[in-house]
Amino acid sequence: MTSNFAPRSVAWIAVVALAAGWTGKSLTTPEPPAQAERPSGPRPLGSNVPMPQAERLHDRATVAPLPSRGRNPFVYGARSAARPSGSSRDTAMMAAPAPAPAPVVTEPPTPVLRLTGIASSLEDGMAALTAIVTVNGAMSFVKPGAQLTGGYTVLRVDETSVVLVDASGVTQTLRLP
């Protein structure tokens, strides 16, 4: 069954359908409840009658908190204690205190030494070499006989290297990169 409607008829049908839907919705939807009458202005001093907002806040504050354990993957509960077994060997091992770990003697870290440059200057008509040494990030200008951090003494400064000796007599040569 095919019907041909004029455009004017289609427009009237659409308007009637929209109007019926709008009025039908307003008839079936209940009106929102009216808010309780609240006295305007501040509450009189000495009045024990709480305000509606305060009552709701008080109710929220007294509600029991959510359980601490649940499906939250970022919250872990305490581990349960291991149940002792019936064997006497296990009981004796649990009763004996664990031995205290031996104190670990650590040596202080050795300083990081790097030769970053060699400078030359004229002193009494002769070329005097000064080494630019970086000790743990701090730059030092040193000549033979100078003391460095960590107990190192400069023995010799050459055009491309520096020879150092530590407090125990071990020598170390730093070269330019």
User: Bigger pLDDT: 68 or 59?
Assistant: 59
Rg (CA), the chain: 45
Whether the per-residue pLDDT at 85 is higher than 70: the answer is no
Whole-number pLDDT of residue 18 = 86
Q: Quick one: pLDDT at residue 177?
A: 81
- Domain extent listing, the chain: 113-175
How many helices (H) does the chain have, and how many strands (E)?
Answer: 3, 7
pLDDT in tens, 89-131: 555 556 667 778 888 888 777 788 999 999 999 888 888 999 9
CATH 3.40.50.720 for domain 113-175: no
- CA-CA distance, 172 to 138, in Å (whole number)? 19
Enumerate the β-bridge partners of residue 174.
162
The answer to whether the pTM exceeds 0.85 is: no
